[in-house]
Amino acid sequence: MISKWIFSTHRVGVRKSSMKRLFSNARRNHQHVKYFTSMRLYGDKDAKLRSDIRMLGNSLGNIIKNHDTKAFEAVEQLRKYGQEWRREDDGGEKTFENMVDMVSNYDTKKLMMISRAFTHFLSLSNSAENHHRLRRLRRRMMEHDGALSPKNDSCSGAVQRLLYEKQRSVDDVYKSLCSQTVEIVLTAHPTEVNRHTMLQKHQNTKEILEAFDRTDHSPYEIRQLNRQLHSEIANIWETDELRRSKPTPVEEAVGGLNIVENVLWKSVPTFLRKLDVS
């Protein structure tokens, strides 16, 4: 919400009252999840996730520092204020006021830089979290003999509930699966801002994180992976995140079909093979 507001403003400066109201809304919306977020992020099961996010954040921070030292220092200070605010039991009123006072003195150019820094950090964190989710899933699959995930809310879990809790026969489940129909609806609209270029760069980042999970790398290979990661994050930082022109109908159609080529073409046959042997 904050980054969207900053991107939309065209004023040279930002009034303190407006910024304070904006941060107040954000604090009110997220105050109740502070404890839950802390518990979720600091469990032992997420140690590798924290390590990945730290590595991505450090690389991004070095790139921003080389680009604009003052912007990097502002981002670091805001990040520290955010950490203090989350740890304080009294609601963090003083820390919150410090954040408002700090940001309200910046012009639009600096706000844009800070907004981009936090936006890219969150996007990289999402890539790390997606990778970590798959990493944990693979670990569970190593302990499970089936082809599909054993989670209760998965397809395999649904089949198990039908067979053992609902007392449905194998033939009934088989016939139901064979009679399932799926209709794919691909939508495209001018408000879509996720560029295919950026999506591919984040996919490349996840592949590099996956390569880091191997334990048999030589020192040279580790250095090469670090260089690749730094280069990919630098490309993300230097790439325009937004579409600057309205796509044509043909471009929208091509964008909509990307999911068929990059996701469905491989995922659907793979899933059906796993379902067939489950």
What pTM did the predictor assign?
Answer: 0.71
Q: Give burial (CB, 10 Å; 0-12/13-18/19+) of 59.
A: buried
Residue pointed to by tokens 């403003």: 9
**The two structure tokens encoding residue 75:** 């981002």
pLDDT of the residue at 84: 87
Domain ranges of the chain: 2-139, 196-272
Given a contact cutoff of 8 angstroms between Cβ atoms, the answer to whether 136 and 45 are in contact is yes
- For the segment 56-83, the average pLDDT, to the nearest whole number, is 93
Residue 42 has pLDDT above 50, yes or no: no
Top pLDDT among 84 and 229 is at 229
Three-state SS at 248: coil
pLDDT tens readout for residues 241-277: 777 777 788 877 777 777 788 788 888 898 888 888 7
Residue 35 has pLDDT above 70, yes or no: no
Closest alpha carbon to 198 in 226, 230, 238, 231:
238
